Every structure is written in C-alpha cells, then in structure tokens.
Structure 1
Amino acid sequence: MAPASPTPEASSPAAPRTPLVEARSLDWVPTSERHGRVRAQGPFWFLGNFQPFTVAIGLVGPTVGLSLGWTAVAGIAGILFGTLFMAFHATQGAQLGLPQMIQSRAQFGYRGVLVPLVGSLITFVAFNIVDTVIIGEGLQGLFGWDTVVVGVVIGAVATALAIFGHDWLHLAFTVLFWVSLPFWVVLTIGVVTGAAGGAAPTAPGGFSGTGFLIMFTVSASYNITYAPYVSDYSRYLPEDTAPWKIIASVFWGASASPAWLIPLGAWFATNLGVTDALGGIHDAGNAVVPHLGTALTVLSVLALVATMGLNAYSGMLSLVTGIDSIRPVPRTRTVRVVAILVLAVVWTVAGVALTDASAAVNTALLLMIYLLAPWTAVNLVDYFVVRRGHYAIADLFTPDGVYGRWGWRGLVAYGVGVLCELPFINVADFATGPVANALGGVDLAPVVGLVVPAVVYLIACRGLDARGEARAIERSGSVLAAASREAQP
C-alpha cells in the first residue's frame, strides 16, 4: 500500500510566520516554513535550565553527604554527560522536520512507539508537577500565597503559552534570557564576594562515592530527560543547517546554565541552610542588593512557568502521537488545545497535592532516566549508525509503511535495556536492586540503560532490508516534494 501523505495540511497555504496559535502539530514541516535560526537554540535551552528547578538540583548533593566542591564537580560532570545525548537529538528536527517521537516510529513501529511514549509523557507531566511544587512552596514561604491558587494560575499561563505554540515559546524564552541574565550575574558576584551573607557550614560534608554517583546521575538525567523534546524545537530550522552547528548551540545552551546554577544551589544548601530553591534565590539576592532577590524570584517563576509551557507543548505532541498510533487524529488546532488542557488538569491537581519538592526532584529524575535512557540509546544508534539520517518520512505517518506497526528490533532492545537496569536501580523509598545493594547504594542503572540497548539494537539491525527502505525513501521524497510545492504561499 502506498504511504499516506505525511501531513494533511501540507496542501494548504503556508501558515504565517508567527500566528497567534500555531497551525502544525504532528505534521512534517515543509521547506517553505523552515524559518528557525540556529543561533536561537543556545539561548532557548540556556533559559530552559536557567530557573529554580536547576538550583534545586544543587540542593541534592549536600543531602547525600557531598561538600559544596564535590557537589559542583559531580553536578557539572553529570550535566556535560547528559547534555551530549540531548544535543545530538537536536539535529533530527532540522534534518527531518518532525517532532521527536514521530521519528521514533522508525525504530519502534507505528504502534510500537506507544512503549517509549509512556516514558516521554511521564517526563513532561512529572516535570510540570515538580515545577508546580517548587513554585507553590516557594511563593507560600516567601509571601504566604496559597499553593492551590498559585498552582492554578501558573498552570493557566503555561497552558496558554503551549497553545500559542512553537514561535511564541521561542520568543518568550529569548526575552526572558536577556532580561534574567544581568540579575543572575549580580547575584553570583554577590555570592563570590561574600555580599550574599551566609556562614561556613558546621557539617560541610566531603566526598562519598555513593553520593557522588547519585549527584552525577540526577544531574545527567536532568538533560537526558530533555532528549524527547529537542527536535520539537529544531524542526523549523532549514534542512541544510549544519548538524555540528545545531549540536554546538544546543550543547552550550543546555549545559552552561546548570553548570552555573547547580553550584549556586549547593552554596545555598551548605552556607545558607536552604531547602527551597526560590527561598534561597530570594534571601541571597536581597542580601546582595535590596529587592534584587524579589526581582529574581519573579524572573525565576516566569522562567519556570515558560519551561512548563515547553513541557506542555511537547507533552501534547507525545499524547497526540500516542492516540494517533491507535486511531488517526485530525491535525487541527482543536486537538492540540484539548490535549494540552487534559495534561494541564493532571499536572495541576498532582502538583498542588505534593509538599516535598526536593524529594520529588530526586525521585522523579531518577525514575525518568530509567525509562528514557534505553530509548535515547536506540534512537541515536538508529539515526547516526544504522540509518544515518535517511528515513522514508511519509512512511512514518502510516501503519502500512516500511516501518510497520511494531518495530520488534527497537522494542526488544528497549525491553532488554529496562530489564537489565532493574538490578542496578537505587531510588530512596521506592526500590533498590540487588546489585546496587551489593555496591553500597551505587546506582549504575542509567549506564546499563544506555549501553545494553545500543548493543542489542545494533545486533538486531543486521538483517534490515536496506534495499526495501531505499525504495521507500525514494517514494517518500517524491511525496514530500509534491507537498512542498503545494505548501508554497
């Protein structure tokens, strides 16, 4: 059977560059609409991590016995490691013009993609739940505001931003990046010079192998869990954008801000005794310059709410992709809006019910990396080693295409990866595997989840029908060329 058109809306005139509400969702983006700029990727992802959630990661190290210095070392090492995987995913958006999880149908099948979609959807919703907790607890502690009211208001703002869509998210992130930057610089100078106050800790901590690996894992998972997002925000880049430029821009942006804020969070924990990220930002900032902390609190909340919009937007794409894999979904604004509203209700209700942000950060990030590490391994090996960026894009939009309904190679590799992780996991108050117990609590599950599925998938792909895929890619190219011509304004 011939593959269906990759995008029913490709035959209509191109949408305005920045419409009030984005027209596309799961669609392939025609060449005529590729208006993104690679230089915008760095500030976009910098701001994505330039907020209290990142500061809260720095609070984790001291709670597991690490000193300020060792928390910084473990945190920065984990961030650099995790960002490497995230940044390589970014090239897929520009090359293919697709949301990230639609592309995963090539590895897992049209319906089989539902399996990794569970992990990605949990990621997006979990981040927004924890963000709601961080903002609610912080504003209640600082100003006495009701956490339920705060949760509803920030949920509404994030929802609206997600509904407006891709270009408005980029605009909001760029503006907040430039507005926030000087305030954080002043705060950091104040901390370094001693103007932020604080006192040397009575129990400064030190080095712990277990604590180091926990901090490393939490930090690495922070950006690895961004992997299902990245192509969603690079798919409007021109197709001929050099891959190294995209990788470099995303890497510096996504790693620089946490490499800055994680040590800052660790300083809050060790020198100020802070257990709430927003509270630390507020108190330290006001000690440096009157009202600086208050201004930073507002900017931090705005940045975090914008990031919640990011999570809602990508969560919508995962949810609609999952539904579409069972029953075709119209590519309409109404479907986008309804999906975002459903997710907003879920994260808002859960967010206002939780009360311990630091525990939520630690547990949520560890659980998410267990689910996403095997997916990112399979996806990157397929893109860079097996298929080398060549896909029959039209076939990703039909169960009868060359990738089929169930991609047994990807599913087997993913399943084996998750199962092999289980003996190595170590999540406080949740589960500890026998190997982690034997190693004194050291959590090697994410490493296992990256290595094992990659090897299994490479072995399984030795029997791929390269000639059949080549013919499908040629047919798909003709379909896309025709769609591009019809999409010309």
Structure 2
Amino acid sequence: MIEDTNPTETALAGPSRASQVIIETRSIDYVPLTERRGKVWHLSTIWFTGNVHILTVALGFIGIALGANLIWTAIAILTGCAFGTFFMAFHSAQGPQLGLPQMVQSRPQFGFMGAFLVWIVALIIYGGYAASIQILVGDTLEEVIGLPTTIGYFSIALIAILLAVMGHDIIHKAARYLAVLMVVVLAMFSIGIIVVQPFSAEAFDIRSFSLVPFMVQFFTAAAYQLSYSIFVSDYSRYLRPDVSVPETFWWTYAGAAVSGAWMMLMGAAAAWLFPLNDTVGAIIATGDAIVSGSGKILLIAAVVPAFAAGALCFYGGSLTLLSCADSIKQFQPTMLKRVVALVCLGIVTTVIAYSASGSFIAWLENFLFVLGYLLTPWTAINLIDFYVVRRGHYSIREIFSPRGMYGRWSWRGIAAYLIGFASMLPFAVVGDFHGFFARLLGGVDISMLVGLAVSSAIYVWAYRGFDLSTETERIRVADIGIDAGATPQSP
C-alpha cells in the first residue's frame, strides 16, 4: 500500500475498509486488489434492474405519440436499444481494468482540469434522469395512494439517496432481488397482453412506415441506453482486473439491452391500446384489461425499481461532483463528503422535477436528444482512447496528479469533443429547431451517427505518431508499489 499522505496519494489509497463493511467508504479513489470482489454476472442484474422501471416504459410512448404504428415502433425500440447498449457495455469493461469510477477516467483524454467539460455534461444528465424518475414516481404515488406530488418528489429522492449512501454493494444486492421479482412480473403481464388484448391489423401493418417517428424512437432508445455510459463502470470497478473484456461486455449488454427493450415495448403496447391516457393511466388501463384490478399492481411493479434506478443516478452523480471538487482542490475522499454531495444533488433534482412536471413526455423527448448531442462525442473519445490509442494502459497515480503526464488541459480530447459536437448541430432536431441538414432530410435526426464518426476521426488524427511503448514504460515506473499486478491490462 502507499505510505505517503500527499493529496494525490491519499486519493489513490482512500480510507481503509474491510470487505464486510456494509456502508461503502470509497468514492472517487482507486480500488486496490485486496478489495476487489464480486461476480461478473452481477452486472447483468444491476443493469436489468436499472432499466425495469416506469421511466423506461414512458420512452415506448414516443413513437406511438408521433404517429408510428406498433410494429415499426417495436422495431425502432429493438434496434435502438441494441445500438446504444453496444457502446455502453464497452465502457463497463473499463471498470475492472482501472478500478476507478467512470468519469474520473476522462482525465487522460481531456486533462486534469479539462475533464471538467465532460463532468458538467455528466451532471446535467444525472440531474435530468433523476428528476424524470422523481416526476413519474410522484405522479404514480398520487394516483395509487393520493400522496401529493410534492411529497412524492421528495420521497423518491430521500430513499434513493439512502441507498446511494449505503453504496456499491447494497445497490448490487438490491438489484439482484429486484431483477428476479421483475422478471416474474413482466413475464406474467407480457403474456397477458398477448393473450387477452386483441391488436388491430393496423398495429402490425408493415407497409405503414413513417421515417421521422421511426428515427425519433430509434435515437431516443439509443441515447437512453448510451446515457448509462457515464456511470456504468462505477459498478464494475470492484471486479478483479483478470475479468475479461468480453465477459464484462456481454453480461452488461444482456442485462441492459433486454430490460430496456422489454420495458419500452410494454410502454409502446400500452400507448397503442390506450392512446388517450398518459403514462400512468395507460399502465393502469393495460393491467386492468388483463385482469380486473391488477392495473395498480402493474404500476407499483414499474415504480419499485425506480428507487434503485434513482440510487444509480445519485451515486454516480455524487462521484462526478466529488471529481469536480477534487480538481479544484485535492482532498481525502470520505463518506461524509459523499453524503454531502448526494444531498446537494437531491436538492437540485427536486427543483428540476417541480419545474419540468407539466408536459413530461415532450420534456423527456427533448432532454434525451440534447443528452445524445452532449454525450456522443465523449463516448467516442473515451472508447477510442481506451481500445485504440492507449489500449488499456493508464497510470493510476498520474490520473490523480494535477501536474502529471496527462496534463491539466489536453487539446486533443477537447478539440475532438468540440468539433464532434459542432458537427452534430446541422443534423440536430430539438423541438422547433431543425438544423440545415435535418431540414433537407425531412426532419430526420442522424446527429448521433455523425458525432460518433467525426469525434473518433479527429481524436485518432490528433494522436497520429503517438508512442504507446514510451508511455507504457512511464506508466510502469509511475505506478510501482500501487498493487502487484494491478496495472490495467490490454483489452
């Protein structure tokens, strides 16, 4: 272990803890090999549970609301989830190799201070998602038990924050139990919808295709799945580094893609069957149509995992907020600091929930598209750096050093991000705004594809002539004594 107590070394060593401690004491610091634990298949249950809640159901309403029929909405959902989860699952594989939270890993690409750029983006995403969950849970609690939405918004934040305070292990354990419960519930109701509800021929008319609703639903589903990238390796970083990239990828992909598609398809079916209802009303009507009086049971089942999903947002958000604070003034990570960060986030998201609760579906659609614009360049840069440029070789010590080998500002990452983001704007559609090329395409938004390609190309070009062998030797020297064998492996 590291003996020195300067700020950089303190961030690496972190508070001492035994693996049996219930409340997590680590936050943005490195997880040493002596504390690595868990099974790789647990990634499937945490990301299954992370998606099986009412917010994911609401996303299935978007294609139907824009005029698509059920079959084309379903195809858009399935392909969109498959596409977005592909990138998200590759981020998950970074956790065991580095033993660090996801967003701290952005320092090698953007610099010690330059990473602020993507951390602010991440905080916007955390806030928007947590607020969305609060809105839907608040509306649900009002519908089911008559609880005022004011109390509902506060309640979801409080419970989610308490779970996040308990930390990594408790969130994983809760997810495993909830995954089993939700598989049973969803299977029953899915079979019920197919058996009991007669869908019209129009619902499955393959000739009834409309490009704009299809593409909006596709990219909404893709952006939603991709958004987990900002904290996906927070929940894989305690695994041992000898867990292979394919194992981490496929267990993460299976849990996230299946649950995301399943819940959105449930939402699409409810929206098609009961088009005049809002999300909560359509879910209740769907359940009641299968078995009288079971609508509220289905609704509650879709709400319970939302507390765990909220915990995921608050937990990841607190680590990102602490990363921001650490860049301004380095400090020893403690549980108290993590709790303070969680409370601050809870206050902010509750305020957002109050301000955005009026026209929720429209707000959510626009939020997800903006999220896609902000997140796409980062995910391209981060993955290209890890898998192509540096091939998994990073110095843990230097990531925490403000004057280290990665610099305070990295022009390569920042330029690739800004150029990639700018390249997306002519293809963007947000509300009444249509970029130049989006208008030429009849209102179809393909900006995510453009941003991925441009950001990747610029970043690879910026690192032409990069000498990986020299940097690898510097890493070996810098990280002597952290952990025997803990230096990240090549993927």
Partner of 2:378: 375
Offset at 1:288? Answer: 2.3
Contact 1:92/1:231 (<8 A) preserved: yes
The C-alpha deviation readout for 1:232-289, integer Å capped at 9, x for no partner, is 0000011100110110000011000122222221111111225433333333223323
TM-score, normalised to structure 2, is 0.93
Letter of the 1:125 partner, please give it: G
Partner of 1:217: 219
CA distance in 2, matches of 1:403, 1:218: 34
Alignment of 1:396-475 (within 5 A): 396-429=399-432, 431-475=433-477
Structure 2 stretches lacking a partner, 5+ long: 487-491
Partner of 1:487: none
Offset at 1:155? Answer: 0.9
Partner of 1:37: 39
Letter of the 2:454 partner, please give it: V
Residue of 355, 358, 366 corresponding to 2:361: 358
CA distance in 1, matches of 2:430, 2:16: 48
CA distance in 2, matches of 1:202, 1:75: 15
Contact 2:395/2:479 (<8 A) preserved: yes
Letter of the 1:456 partner, please give it: I
Contact 1:426/1:433 (<8 A) preserved: yes
Letter of the 1:78 partner, please give it: G
CA distance in 1, matches of 2:6, 2:389: 25
Q: Which moved more, 1:51-60 or 1:464-473?
A: 464-473
| Secondary structure in structure 2 of the residue aligned to 1:227 | helix
TM-score, normalised to structure 1, is 0.93
Offset at 1:66? Answer: 0.7
Offset at 1:290? Answer: 4.7
Offset at 1:213? Answer: 1.0
| Secondary structure in structure 2 of the residue aligned to 1:481 | coil
Partner of 2:57: 55
- The alpha-carbon distance between structure 1 residues 76 and 316, as it changes in their structure 2 partners (threshold 3 A), is same
Residue of 171, 179, 182 corresponding to 1:180: 182
Partner of 1:93: 95
Offset at 1:139? Answer: 3.1
- The alpha-carbon distance between structure 1 residues 6 and 390, as it changes in their structure 2 partners (threshold 3 A), is farther
Contact 1:221/1:366 (<8 A) preserved: yes
Contact 2:33/2:483 (<8 A) preserved: no
Letter of the 1:255 partner, please give it: A
CA distance in 2, matches of 1:366, 1:447: 13
Offset at 1:419? Answer: 0.8
- The alpha-carbon distance between structure 1 residues 398 and 61, as it changes in their structure 2 partners (threshold 3 A), is same
Partner of 1:78: 80
Partner of 1:478: 480
Letter of the 1:301 partner, please give it: V
The C-alpha deviation readout for 1:30-77, integer Å capped at 9, x for no partner, is 001111210111111011111111111110001122100000001110
How many residues align? The count is 481
Residue of 311, 315, 318 corresponding to 1:316: 318
Letter of the 1:403 partner, please give it: Y
CA distance in 2, matches of 1:34, 1:99: 14
| Secondary structure in structure 2 of the residue aligned to 1:226 | helix
Offset at 1:144? Answer: 3.3
CA distance in 2, matches of 1:6, 1:67: 56
Q: Which moved more, 1:463-472 or 1:347-356?
A: 463-472
The C-alpha deviation readout for 1:85-138, integer Å capped at 9, x for no partner, is 000001100001000111110100000000111111111110011111112223
Residue of 381, 387, 395 corresponding to 1:384: 387
Letter of the 2:362 partner, please give it: A
Contact 2:14/2:332 (<8 A) preserved: no
CA distance in 2, matches of 1:422, 1:231: 29
Contact 1:78/1:215 (<8 A) preserved: yes
Matched-pair identity in %: 37
What's the Cα RMSD here?
2.3
| Secondary structure in structure 2 of the residue aligned to 1:38 | coil
CA distance in 2, matches of 1:290, 1:275: 18
Offset at 1:210? Answer: 1.4
Structure 1 stretches lacking a partner, 5+ long: 485-489
Over 6 Å off, 4+ runs: 2-5, 197-205
Partner of 1:292: 294
CA distance in 2, matches of 1:343, 1:132: 13
Letter of the 2:239 partner, please give it: L
- The alpha-carbon distance between structure 1 residues 310 and 11, as it changes in their structure 2 partners (threshold 3 A), is closer
Offset at 1:463? Answer: 3.9
Contact 1:98/1:235 (<8 A) preserved: yes
Contact 2:7/2:332 (<8 A) preserved: no
Alignment of 1:110-149 (within 5 A): 110-149=112-151
- The alpha-carbon distance between structure 1 residues 143 and 456, as it changes in their structure 2 partners (threshold 3 A), is same
Letter of the 1:23 partner, please give it: T
Contact 1:3/1:397 (<8 A) preserved: no
Partner of 2:170: 168
Contact 2:13/2:29 (<8 A) preserved: no
CA distance in 1, matches of 2:293, 2:16: 47
The C-alpha deviation readout for 1:173-232, integer Å capped at 9, x for no partner, is 1111112221111111110002x5787879999311111111111010011111111110
- The alpha-carbon distance between structure 1 residues 197 and 351, as it changes in their structure 2 partners (threshold 3 A), is farther
- The alpha-carbon distance between structure 1 residues 203 and 197, as it changes in their structure 2 partners (threshold 3 A), is closer
